[in-house]
């Protein structure tokens, strides 16, 4: 049955599709053809009026969590209006659908879940370990837009909820993260919302609060052991890629040890990447490339201290090593020597006496001559870093004295408190500005407000070093090039494109990342670089993309990418096309 048959057989179904429904802006003609008269007030409004009303309603909510619920409901009832509003009001709405509010939403997800979407409208795909025998059927059940049955999903973001932002194990309440990431794919890179699947696997939770919460909607059991976890993930991925063979899979917010093991296992076997390891690595490499120009110290002379040694920190460190090797001619050993890791026990050294997690061993220091450094002040004194990156989820760890030490050591200290959401950040932008007397070169994981110098009135803008500047473009580029795997080269090309995406004006303002309203342009440039690199490394399989890259015309490639981006106007056209068949 075609989409058109479907609609002709049940005309009112059109208005029930969140994708095709245009609410109060549905034309009189369409209302007549679909037998919708009387089902809403007769007035036909413009999209502009709809957006204006939605914005007034949004702003009338007193908490960000209420705003999150309001926006989720809007997305699940009127895709067109939702993404038009998000596109217009990116700076106001992104912190509501993504970090920081998505963190609060996840903490409360089971309580708000029934109010996010109308009955029958799924807000993500939940796969419990008890579903193992029926995975295929359950994956096929997920049809948020059944009226548009010809559209095949292309991107899945999958979590097990075990490390949601810096908030720890939230079990299935982590669903807000895949949902939020995929909204950024749509808003930030023009992926058709019908082609996205947010997935949360339920393998239990070790969070006692969740286990004791009567409203918690996940399995009330501790997380399963690895001998059950890995086969279940395997079954999910196999089934998913059997049902949707071209699906790109983004691993998100798995606890670090599992994250590394899953990436190692699947990166050459599936079309996939890990956002926390690779996406974060790429976005911070991009910010670092721009920051060292501002700092004015040659790349090779930097000393980079990571506060936190999990998936994000080690993912970044590995990409920095590639950068020093590829772009600055350092040996791998010399590049590795530029990195120091700190974890909850202090400086990561080979002779510390504990068994280091596998992902830390490569960067463990052996030049500490038997001395161990347990607190950050001692580590800073020992290392004398030019760069301090926070990936520890320890709020306030970059104290006044830490920031003052960084400013004493450096004319322009590079300090990135990257933990999310804002409540977990190692310091705020204001603290960094005040305690370094304005010298800091700054980026944070969640956006902080601008800072106004009380003496001069000078306003400074913080950078947002968040993987949202990478994964949407990387995913789009991957879908357009169609390689079998996402190679390290593709990730590296995404980082470089992100660094180069700054306009001369942004550069002259000392910004490290492009301003948020340009995220679609940035994603297009990242995607174009990924497509070009995939052709260069010989993995691209999309003949159209290969032919365009071979013309060696950057503008044509960007046009190709942009023309493949979904817009709310494309949704308009889908409605008009259907209406023409009625
Ligand atoms: N800006 C962005 O785009 C991104 C930000 N992030 C953020 O980065 C943070 C870390 O993520 P991830 O690496 O996956 O998480 P992990 O939980 O794996 O890593 C946290 C690390 O912090 C260390 N740590 C904990 N307490 C302390 C302490 N008191 N002093 C020093 N180190 C400490 C832990 O040590 P130990 O190993 O000993 O337990 C661990 O190495 C999160 O807040 C996440 O939201 C993540 C991805 C992207
Ligand atoms: C941004 C992100 O992916 C994280 O904090 O986990
Ligand atoms: Mg993440």
Cβ neighbours around 222 below 10 Å, total: 13
488 is in an annotated binding site: no
Q: Which residue is closest in CA terms to ligand 2's atom 5?
A: 165
Tokens for 386, please give them: 């030019």
CB under 6 Å to ligand 1: residues? 163, 165-166, 256, 276, 280, 283, 307-313, 342-345, 391-394, 418-420, 424, 445, 465-467
Residue whose structure tokens are 């002779």: 351
Cα 263 → chain centroid:
17
Ligand 2 binding pocket includes 253 (Cβ within 6 Å): yes
Catalytic position from the list 181, 318, 360, 439? 181
Q: Can you tell me the ipTM of this complex?
A: 0.99
252 is in an annotated binding site: yes
Q: Which residue is closest in CA terms to ligand 2's atom 6?
A: 165
> d(Cα 354, Cα 473) in Å, to the nearest integer?
40
**pLDDT for position 148:** 66
* Residue 181 known to be catalytic: yes
Ligand 2 binding pocket includes 276 (Cβ within 6 Å): yes
Residue whose structure tokens are 């030490």: 405
Q: Which residue is closest in CA terms to ligand 2's atom 3?
A: 276
466 is in an annotated binding site: yes
Strand partners, 459: 452
Per DSSP, the residues of 50-114 read: HHHHHHHHHHH-SSHHHHHHHHHHHHTT-HHHHHHHHHHTHHHHHHHHSTTHHHHHHHTHHHHGG
Residues of the chain with pLDDT under 70: 1-15, 147-149, 578-582
Strands 304-307 and 155-159: unpaired
Index of the ligand 1 atom closest to the CA of residue 311? 13
Ligand 2 binding pocket includes 445 (Cβ within 6 Å): yes
Contact 161, 171 (CB under 8 A): yes
* Residue among 309, 347, 348, 495 whose CB has most ligand 1 atoms within 8 A, to mutate: 309
Per-residue pLDDT tens over the stretch 66-108: 999 999 999 999 999 999 999 999 999 999 999 999 999 999 9
3-state helix, strand, coil in the chain (%, to 5): 55, 10, 35
108 is in an annotated binding site: no
* Residue among 166, 286, 312 whose CB has most ligand 1 atoms within 8 A, to mutate: 312
In terms of DSSP H, where are the helices of 410-513? 429-435, 471-481, 488-500, 504-508
Q: Which residue is closest in CA terms to ligand 1's atom 14?
A: 311
Catalytic position from the list 19, 68, 83, 98? 98
**pLDDT for position 11:** 66
Q: Is 375 exposed, middle or buried (0-12, 13-18, 19+ CB in 10 A)?
A: exposed
Index of the ligand 1 atom closest to the CA of residue 446? 1
* Residue among 159, 188, 277, 280 whose CB has most ligand 2 atoms within 8 A, to mutate: 280
**pLDDT for position 304:** 98
First to last CA, the chain: 15
Q: What is the pTM of this model?
A: 0.96
Phi, psi torsion values for 265, nearest 5 degrees: -70, -40
Per-residue pLDDT tens over the stretch 465-497: 999 999 999 999 999 999 999 999 999 999 999
Contact 163, 256 (CB under 8 A): yes
Q: What is the DSSP letter of 46?
A: P
Query: Which residues 6+ apart lie within 8 Å of 130 measured at CB?
Result: 219
**pLDDT for position 1:** 42
């Amino acid at each position: 049955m075609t989409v058109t048959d479907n609609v002709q057989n049940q005309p009112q179904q059109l208005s029930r599709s969140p994708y095709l429904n245009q609410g109060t802006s549905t034309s009189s003609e369409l209302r007549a053809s679909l037998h919708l008269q009387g089902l809403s007030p007769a007035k036909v409004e413009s999209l502009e009026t709809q957006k204006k009303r939605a914005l007034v309603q949004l702003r009338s909510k007193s908490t960000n969590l209420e705003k999150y619920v309001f926006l989720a409901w809007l997305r699940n009832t009127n895709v067109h209006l939702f993404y038009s509003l998000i596109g217009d009001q990116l700076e106001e709405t992104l912190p509501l659908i993504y970090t920081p509010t998505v963190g609060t939403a996840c903490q409360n997800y089971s309580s708000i879940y029934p109010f996010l979407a109308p009955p029958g409208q799924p807000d993500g795909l939940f796969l419990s370990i008890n579903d193992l025998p029926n995975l295929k059927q359950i994956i096929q059940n997920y049809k948020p837009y059944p009226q548009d049955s010809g559209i095949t999903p292309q991107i899945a973001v999958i979590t097990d909820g075990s490390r949601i932002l810096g908030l720890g194990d939230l079990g299935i309440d982590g669903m807000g993260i895949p949902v939020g990431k995929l909204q950024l794919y749509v808003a930030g890179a023009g992926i058709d919302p019908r082609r996205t699947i947010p997935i949360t696997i339920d393998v239990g939770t070790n969070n006692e609060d969740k286990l004791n919460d009567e409203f918690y909607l996940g399995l009330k059991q501790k997380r399963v052991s690895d001998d059950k976890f890995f086969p279940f993930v395997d079954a999910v991925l196999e089934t998913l890629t059997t049902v949707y063979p071209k699906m790109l899979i983004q691993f998100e917010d798995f606890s670090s040890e599992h994250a590394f093991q899953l990436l190692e296992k699947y990166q050459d076997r599936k079309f996939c990447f890990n956002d926390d390891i690779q996406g974060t690595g790429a976005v911070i490499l991009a910010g670092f490339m721009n920051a060292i120009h501002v700092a004015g110290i040659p790349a090779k002379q930097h000393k980079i201290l990571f506060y936190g040694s999990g998936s994000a920190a080690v993912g970044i460190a590995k990409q920095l090593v590639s950068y020093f090797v590829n772009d600055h001619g350092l040996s791998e050993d010399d590049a590795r020597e530029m990195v120091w890791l700190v974890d909850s026990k202090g400086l990561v050294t080979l002779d510390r006496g504990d068994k280091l997690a596998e992902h830390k061993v490569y960067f463990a220091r052996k030049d500490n001559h038997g001395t161990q450094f347990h607190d950050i002040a001692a580590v800073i004194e020992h290392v004398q870093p030019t760069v301090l990156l926070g990936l520890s989820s320890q709020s306030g760890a970059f104290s006044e004295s830490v920031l003052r030490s960084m400013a004493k050591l450096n004319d322009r200290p590079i300090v990135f408190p990257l933990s999310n959401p804002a409540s977990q950040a190692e310091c705020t932008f204001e603290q960094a500005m005040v305690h370094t007397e304005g010298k800091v070169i700054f980026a944070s994981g969640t956006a902080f407000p601008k800072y106004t110098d009380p003496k001069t009135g000078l306003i400074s803008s913080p950078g947002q070093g968040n993987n949202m500047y990478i994964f949407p473009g990387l995913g789009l580029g991957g879908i357009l090039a169609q390689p079998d795997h996402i190679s390290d080269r593709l990730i590296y090309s995404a980082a470089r494109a992100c660094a180069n995406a700054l306009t001369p004006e942004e550069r002259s303002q000392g910004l490290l990342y492009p301003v948020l309203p340009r995220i679609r342009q940035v994603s297009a440039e990242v995607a174009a670089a990924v497509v070009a690199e995939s052709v260069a490394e010989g993995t691209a399989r999309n003949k159209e993309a290969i032919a365009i890259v071979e013309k060696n015309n950057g503008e044509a490639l960007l046009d190709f990418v942009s023309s493949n981006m979904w817009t709310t106007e494309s949704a308009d056209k889908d409605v008009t096309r259907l209406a023409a068949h009625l």
